[in-house]
Structure 1
Amino acid sequence: MKPNYRQIAEQIIENIGGKENVEQAAHCVTRLRLTLKNQELVDQEALLEVPLVKGAFLNAGVYQIVIGAGDVDRVYAEFIQLTGLQATTIADVKSSGAAKMNPFQKLIKVFSDVFMPIIPAIIVAGLLMGINNLFGIEFGGKTMIDRYPNLQGLWDLINMMANTAFVFLPALVGWSATKRFGGSEILGIVMGLMLVHPDLLNAWNYGQSALKGEIPTFNILGLFEIEKVGYQGQILPVLAAAYVLSTIERWLKQRVPNAIQLLVVPITTITLTGFLALAVIGPVTRQVGDWITIGVVNTFEAVPLLGALLFGALYAPLVITGMHHMFIAVDLQLIGQSGTTFIWPMIAISNIAQGSATLAMLFLAKNVNDKNMASTSALSAYFGITEPAMFGVNLRFKYPFYAALVGSAIASAFIAVSGVLAPAIGVGGLPAFISIVPGSILSFIVGMVIAIIVPVACTFLFHYVSTKRAKKAALNKAA
């Protein structure tokens, strides 16, 4: 039976506080994205009962209603007609929602806006590194390359492609961050590439030169010297430099006549930013990055069990708030400085746990639509996309979400104590094992099994307890 899109739109409007409560509305492939005047007017439970609505949540000041591909655009068309609003873009809605966020939420949004566009490149690099890991696994004391030397050339090629995104990470971040801060993306790329120029020492060569006391420098007019140090794999230096670059460029564009802007603005912006980046911004932010890395590593080394339990239990709730994006920067900082990260494997475990709890609902749900939603959402979560599982199933029924947190915490604790590390960020789901350091793959697979069995078992257990309590409450009410 064809859905009545107009009626669905009417019910949505009624349950979000009426058309007077809506400031702007847009849609993406699967969701309505709204900025509301008063979030407290939303009747969440009634909204989730509306046909086609699979979930609803607030993120970064934008209220999002999950409807699904193919239906959302038709519901949106009726929604716009009924509310009398003008059609707007997602960017407009995000900007409107951002105005309602506190400073900390705005900071988290900056991380999200900067890193989300470059995630595909980072994941590709992680997957290619994972394929290389398979070549390095020992069987009977020999790796595949030892057994088949002809694979060496293929291994070298894949390794080169895998390292590209990490070697030129400052250029990727420079492009995305400069765009986010309102500057010219091409200048951001140039600035990022400058920070990894071959004339600048990488971390290994810098360490060797420091031991010898022979660090090369730029002698600036005999007044002072700037060390020739690069920032390969660094996040904070390029983020700060992108902000400075964008600020300088915007300031110049407001004051330089249009006729000579092309000649004056780019060269002045790059020269000033380059000087500040190498002389001040780079050294200061590198030290801050070192402190952050040392702090995170020391905390987990001191109390790995407690730290992993907390991370495993809290990561999914952080996804709801959008705060999880900041861990991308921490992961990349760890990889850039130590070559591995212990955080990303726990993120993958959390995703698997959410998918497993959703999978259990495939067998427990009574409604056919809920079963269909559970099956597709579980598959999505197993390949790293957890939003449909979390918002469409687990949070709706509540106890699957709690079951996933229990499984994630236990599995994360196990892999942390086992010392599981990843050399890159890959697909945060079942394929994640190929992106784990070869010596830790077996321990990670055991963690994956825990993240599957425990959430499924807990979901069945919590369902039984919940059903029993509901029946008891009904009997008491009848009596």
Structure 2
Amino acid sequence: MPESLDLVMTPFLTLLIMSAVSLLAVGPLFHVVEVTMVETTKYLLELPFGLSGLFVGFVWDLIVITGVHHVFNLLEIQLLANEGSNVFNALITGAISAQGAACLAVGIKTKSKKMKALCFPSTVSAFLGIIEPAIFGVNLRYYRPFIFGLIGGAAGGFTAQILGLSASGMAITALPGALLYLDGQILSYFLVHAVSCVVAFSLTYSMGFSDKMLEKK
């Protein structure tokens, strides 16, 4: 591109080309992926003996780090419209608090003031339903806390399915998500989070993190 035209033409051509590629190639491809994910999840929700909760609770945080987790809003809308309740929310909510608990374990165990200052706000954010700070800021950086958070999420999802937990709405999880379970399920809801948090916290605190990891980083 000639320098005299660069300021105008480069952004214009970039947007023109990438908009066409997005509309004609990337968009349709990801639409197929999204539909496949939703249909697969609908099938998994029918698995018995807590297997649905075990699997969905484990993989949910893996889906979150890809950024495509909002696709499942379509599934939740379908569940609410067809079933009158949202079992999917119940299976994933423990995975949210589990990452927060793993992050909290790192914050309590470390002697680094800088790490503590990162962990504790990220933990609060996770318990309010936003887990990206805990995942990307702490847990995923040191691998083990993230893995133990996945295990905690699986335990919470398993418990939720065994208890028959099902939300009356969508879009919120963790502590704010309690508003969706005020129809006599609130104790079961907090039990699910207790299981998730205890598993994730105890595993992370006992063998998921040490300050030697900070030195390697």
- Residue 3 of structure 2 is matched in structure 1 by none
In the other structure, the counterpart of 2:93 is: 348
The question of 1:432 aligning with 2:211 is answered no
Q: Secondary structure at the match of 1:438?
A: coil
TM-score normalised by length of structure 2: 0.77
Does structure 1 retain, via aligned residues, the 8 Å contact 2:152–2:196?
A: yes
The answer as to whether partners of 2:98 and 2:200 remain within 8 angstroms in 1 is yes
Paired residues of 1:359 and 1:456 also in contact (CA < 8 A): yes
1:106 aligns with 2:30: yes
Contact 2:73-2:171 at 8 Å conserved across structures: no
Q: State the Cα RMSD in Å.
A: 3.1
How far apart are the structure 2 equivalents of 1:105 and 1:320?
19
Contact 2:99/2:134 (CA < 8 Å) preserved in 1? yes
Pair 330,379 (structure 1): closer, same or farther in 2 beyond 3 Å: same
Where structure 2 has 5 or more consecutive residues not aligned to the other structure, the ranges are 1-6, 213-217
Letter of the structure 1 residue corresponding to residue 31 of structure 2: L
1:458 lines up with 2:192 in the alignment: no
Given that 2:148 and 2:208 are in contact with CA atoms closer than 8 Å, whether structure 1 keeps it comes out as: no
Residue 133 (structure 2) aligned to one of 375, 388, 395: 388
SS in 1 for 2:200: helix
Matching residue of 1:130? none
CA separation of 1:456 and 1:439: change in aligned 2, threshold 3 A? same
Shift of 1:395: 0.4
The 1:458–1:420 alpha-carbon spacing in structure 2 relative to 1, beyond 3 Å, is same
Cα distance in 1, alignment partners of residues 45 and 30 from structure 2 = 28
CA pair 380-299 structure 1, distance change in 2 beyond 3 A? closer
**1:366 alignment partner, SS class:** coil
Structure 2 SS opposite 1:396: coil
Q: Post-superposition shift, 1:373? A: 0.8
For 2:123 and 2:148, the matched residues in 1 are separated by 14
SS at match of 1:420: coil
1:293-332 superposed matches below 5 A: 296=42, 299-332=44-77
**In structure 2, what is the Cα distance between the partners aligned to 1:401 and 1:322?**
16
Q: Secondary structure at the match of 2:199?
A: helix
1 or 2, which has the higher strand percentage? 1
Q: 1:303 to 1:107 in 2, by over 3 A?
A: same
Shift of 1:332: 0.8
AA of the residue aligned to 2:192 = G
Q: Which residue of 1 aligns with 2:112?
A: 367
CA distance in 2, matches of 1:446, 1:344: 15
Shift of 1:427: 2.5
Ranked by relative contact order (alpha carbons within 8 Å, sequence separation 6 or more), the top structure is 2
Structure 2 CA distance for partners of 1:320 and 1:334, relative to 1, 3 Å: same
Alpha-carbon distance between aligned partners in 1 of 2:47 and 2:200, rounded to the nearest angstrom: 28
- Secondary structure of the structure 1 residue equivalent to 2:172: coil
Gap regions ≥5 residues in structure 1: 1-84, 112-235, 237-291, 469-479
Q: Among all aligned residue pairs of Structure 1 and Structure 2, give the percentage whose two residues are the same amino acid.
A: 30
Paired residues of 2:45 and 2:88 also in contact (CA < 8 A): no
CA change 1:334–1:437 in 2 (3 A) is farther
Residues matched between the structures, number: 194
How far apart are residue 371 of structure 1 and its match? 1.1
CA distance in 2, matches of 1:345, 1:370: 31
Q: Structure 1: how far apart are the matches of 2:131 and 2:153?
A: 13
Does residue 447 of the first structure (1) align with residue 173 of the second (2)?
no
Query: Aligned to 1:397, what secondary structure does the other structure show?
Result: coil
Query: Could you tell me how far apart the structure 2 residues matched to 1:384 and 1:442 are?
Result: 19
Equivalent pair of 1:430/1:448 in contact (CA under 8 Å): no
Per residue, is there more helix in 1 or in 2? 2
Instruction: Confirm or deny that 1:339 pairs with 2:91.
Output: no
Residue among 141, 147, 157 paired with 1:402: 147
